[in-house]
A and B are shown apart, each in its own frame.
Chain A
């Protein structure tokens, strides 16, 4: 215990370790990196009325899963989300698909528990 306390005191007394100083074993070179990032373009939305609209328009930029774990939103809030995808993130969604998509999202959550 005493040794521990002394060690702590020594730490406090010495120069702050975050001060600018060279790395312990300095990196001299970087090497080419090539990886494969997993994809899930094959994943679809759970079947229900209107699912085609989501499979067609809501899979290109992100996994369906992120849409499926959202908290319960009102129809108005879901419509706003869909509009955000179109207006801000430039999702190519035909205007006549906004309502079917919104309905699907609301209905799916209503069916959840």
Chain B
């Protein structure tokens, strides 16, 4: 192919060609016959290729599961959630839609622009944002709308993630409300639209843009973050600025945030009006196979819980105390309780909750069990502080969003393991 003849990014292509030797070596056997075999992980994805290579090839990133090299989709291995309640920056998942991502940022030249339906258009330097506003901090889960899509049954097309398209971090920044106030939101404003430095690969294609209602944008919780776990954001997580929308799916957490446009009408851009639509039902659930239903843009997260110290199919010792450990999240509020069943959902017991880092954070849970010999189905179920529990029947929708039903881990308890 000769994309340089088309409108596709010539720069990226040439650069890619120059790096060809390196990437061939990184590519898994699956993609490049004869290339050195990287270590693979099995994500346990039903009815589709389930193995993914582990990679350390990405800048400012440690070992990640390679879902897609270009544009990067990097998944956080489950062991990271077992070890850390705050996901380390270098193992925080990565997700980009378009491959035109700047590889460098000049912090003196960078500007955040506020424009549109405002009294006066303003531009802020990074210095302005670091020193000209009151700072706030929040611990919040950032979860991809399509996290766990690969587990969907029946399967659906898209990024075939395991459970690791999420992370929890302490975000530091300034209130979006305070920043908008400097520009003065005009009466009649409806939506606030956010764009980053990344661009589509084809000029006519839709740039990745997302919006929040003005009321939400000004709620005092939505943040323009410049730090993640006390450090600048890794470039692939949005350096230098990222929108933080506590309790909402990551699609709204625009990375490399550089442009804020206040709109006098509802945003009708592709990524708001056509993409990221879910059924307007609890947990975005419809009966598998349903295609026709009232839709709405995805928004608030829902409760989830995952075992982190036991993997599907693992062998453990029967008749000896075993501590189950996992992480839970309330979604758009805190965790009220986590219950555990070791008999496939017949009986439930309360798990012990770990330290509370706030309503938007992961919460550790642990529970001591003594397993009978045989095949054991372990379930965990989170109920949030609004009284919403994870459904026992897995939720489903055709785009693979919002997976949050109770997950089952099947293990083998043996006399000798």
Q: State whether A31 touches B7 (Cβ < 8 A).
A: no
For A63, what are the chain B residues with a Cβ–Cβ distance below 8 Å? 31, 68-70
Q: How far is the CB of B250 from chain A (nearest CB, A)?
A: 18
Q: State whether B137 touches A23 (Cβ < 8 A).
A: yes
Measured between alpha carbons, how far is A16 from B333 in the docked complex, in Å? 13
The 8 A CB mask of A18-60 against B (1 = contact, 0 = none) is 1011111111111111111111111100000000000111011
Interface of B is mostly: loop
- Residue on A with the closest CB to B160? A69
Q: State whether B107 touches A20 (Cβ < 8 A).
A: no
- Residue on A with the closest CB to B100? A61
For A24, what are the chain B residues with a Cβ–Cβ distance below 8 Å? 230
Q: List 24 A-B contacts (CB under 8 A).
A: A16-B356, A24-B230, A27-B172, A27-B231, A31-B107, A36-B103, A38-B69, A39-B12, A40-B23, A41-B13, A42-B17, A42-B23, A61-B202, A63-B70, A65-B31, A65-B68, A66-B67, A68-B31, A72-B48, A89-B200, A89-B202, A90-B202, A92-B6, A92-B202
A-contacting 9-mer, from B53-61, B75-83, B321-329: B53-61
Measured between alpha carbons, how far is A25 from B58 in the docked complex, in Å? 27
Q: Which of A34, A60, A64 contacts B3 (CB 8 A)?
A: A60
The 8 A CB mask of B194-212 against A (1 = contact, 0 = none) is 0000001110111000000
- Residue on B with the closest CB to A71? B155
Measured between alpha carbons, how far is A77 from B13 in the docked complex, in Å? 29
Measured between alpha carbons, how far is A66 from B71 in the docked complex, in Å? 10
For B167, what are the chain A residues with a Cβ–Cβ distance below 8 Å? none
Q: State whether A88 touches B206 (Cβ < 8 A).
A: yes
Answer yes or no: B112 CB below 8 A from chain A CBs. no
Q: State whether A18 touches B230 (Cβ < 8 A).
A: no
Q: How far is the CB of B235 from chain A (nearest CB, A)?
A: 5
Q: State whether A81 touches B357 (Cβ < 8 A).
A: no
The 8 A CB mask of B93-116 against A (1 = contact, 0 = none) is 000001101011111000000000
For B205, what are the chain A residues with a Cβ–Cβ distance below 8 Å? 88-90
Answer yes or no: A3 CB below 8 A from chain B CBs. no
Give 19 A-B pairs besides A20-B137, A30-B240, A59-B1 with Cβ atoms closer than 8 angstroms: A11-B355, A18-B138, A18-B358, A27-B227, A31-B107, A33-B235, A36-B19, A36-B59, A36-B103, A37-B59, A41-B20, A41-B23, A60-B8, A62-B68, A65-B28, A68-B30, A69-B48, A69-B49, A71-B48
Number of B residues near A (Cβ < 8 Å) is 84
Max chain B CB contacts within 10 Å: which of A23, A59, A65, A81? A65
Measured between alpha carbons, how far is A35 from B231 in the docked complex, in Å? 17
For A64, what are the chain B residues with a Cβ–Cβ distance below 8 Å? 31
Answer yes or no: B219 CB below 8 A from chain A CBs. no
Interface of A is mostly: loop
Q: State whether A23 touches B201 (Cβ < 8 A).
A: no
Answer yes or no: A6 CB below 8 A from chain B CBs. no
Number of A residues near B (Cβ < 8 Å) is 54
Q: State whether B157 touches A18 (Cβ < 8 A).
A: no
Known contacts A18-B139, A27-B227, A68-B49, A32 near B357 by CB under 8 Å: no
Question: Among residues 67 to 93 in chain A, which have CB atoms less than 8 Å away from a CB atom of chain B?
Answer: 68-73, 77, 81, 88-92
The 8 A CB mask of B103-146 against A (1 = contact, 0 = none) is 11111000000000000000000110010001111110000000
Known contacts A61-B98, A66-B159, A25 near B230 by CB under 8 Å: yes
Q: Which of B73, B99, B105 contacts A32 (CB 8 A)?
A: B105
Q: State whether B136 touches A20 (Cβ < 8 A).
A: yes
Q: State whether B1 touches A57 (Cβ < 8 A).
A: yes
For B231, what are the chain A residues with a Cβ–Cβ distance below 8 Å? 27
For A26, what are the chain B residues with a Cβ–Cβ distance below 8 Å? 135, 172
- Residue on B with the closest CB to A56? B1
Measured between alpha carbons, how far is A92 from B126 in the docked complex, in Å? 38
- Residue on A with the closest CB to B400? A71
Q: State whether A38 touches B26 (Cβ < 8 A).
A: yes
For A73, what are the chain B residues with a Cβ–Cβ distance below 8 Å? 157
Measured between alpha carbons, how far is A65 from B40 in the docked complex, in Å? 15
Q: How far is the CB of B370 from chain A (nearest CB, A)?
A: 19
Known contacts A23-B137, A41-B17, A88-B206, A66 near B356 by CB under 8 Å: no
Q: State whether B104 touches A40 (Cβ < 8 A).
A: no
Known contacts A33-B235, A60-B13, A71 near B156 by CB under 8 Å: yes
Q: State whether A23 touches B230 (Cβ < 8 A).
A: yes
